[in-house]
Amino acid sequence: MTGTGFTGATGVRFGATQATSFTVNSDTQITATAPVGTGTVQVTVTTPAGTSNQFVTFTYVTAPVPVLSSVSPHSGPASGGTVVTLSGSGFAGATAVRFGGVSAAFTVISGTQISATAPAGSGTAQVTVTTPGGTSNGVSFTYVSASVPALTSVSPNSGPAAGGTTVTLTGTGLAAATAVRFGATPATSFTVVSDTHLVVDVPAGVAGPVAVTVTSPGGTSTPTTYTRVASPGI
């Protein structure tokens, strides 16, 4: 606030309520923290010489309660980590995003959009946004338990120890694959064709019959055998 005669100020009031705190910056300026209040109130400064009587007002604005309209995507693995976009209104100044009773890390992009990372959970949780204006309505987010992948065949099921053979793995639950291994050796690369097919480059150095496995967030498949073929000798 700006004026004159502020040196030695002993009080700043918003209506009848003392400011939470104030600092006299100079004889003409004070920085004050407004207390809780409503409506429009007169601001006054008191010094040993008296109290100001100019009609200077401060208006309290009621923050709107946030409204959550959608969560996208609306499902993710029980392990958490899904980045979701919350859409709605009144998100400015958000202080919390919760999935059920669990707090989530989040970033306010705008007054109508928040990016949040789903924490671990189970079942269906109500997502809410909290701001100084209150807590929003809830929108459902469903935790999906990832299935363990099943591997039924490798084609071709043999190749040279030098590696480089491209094979097709057939099974179920393969779309979420995070790793393919030939024994203890990870495949150098693999491509998800569908939930039932992976195309994989066999790593070099695979010796003898080895167990081929696929790992996803749901676990690791039972093994299927891939056999090394010896190079011909003369």
pLDDT, greater one: 219 or 84: 84
Question: Is pLDDT above 80 for 163?
Answer: no
The pLDDT, as a whole number, for residue 176 is 85
pLDDT digits 0-9 by tens, 175-207: 889 899 999 889 988 999 999 999 999 988 777
Question: Is pLDDT above 70 for 233?
Answer: no
Half-sphere exposure of 152 (CA within 13 A, CB side): 8
The pLDDT, as a whole number, for residue 204 is 83
pLDDT digits 0-9 by tens, 5-49: 999 999 999 999 999 999 999 999 999 999 989 899 999 999 999
The pLDDT, as a whole number, for residue 80 is 87
pLDDT band at residue 230 under the 50/70/90 scheme: low
The pLDDT, as a whole number, for residue 188 is 84
The pLDDT, as a whole number, for residue 61 is 84
Long-range contacts of 42-45 (CB under 8 A, 24+ apart): 42/15, 43/1, 43/12, 43/13, 43/14, 44/12, 44/13, 45/1, 45/3, 45/6, 45/9, 45/11, 45/12
The pLDDT, as a whole number, for residue 232 is 55
pTM of the entire predicted model:
0.54
Domains of the chain: 11-59 (no CATH), 67-144 (2.60.40.10), 150-229 (2.60.40.10)
The pLDDT, as a whole number, for residue 91 is 96
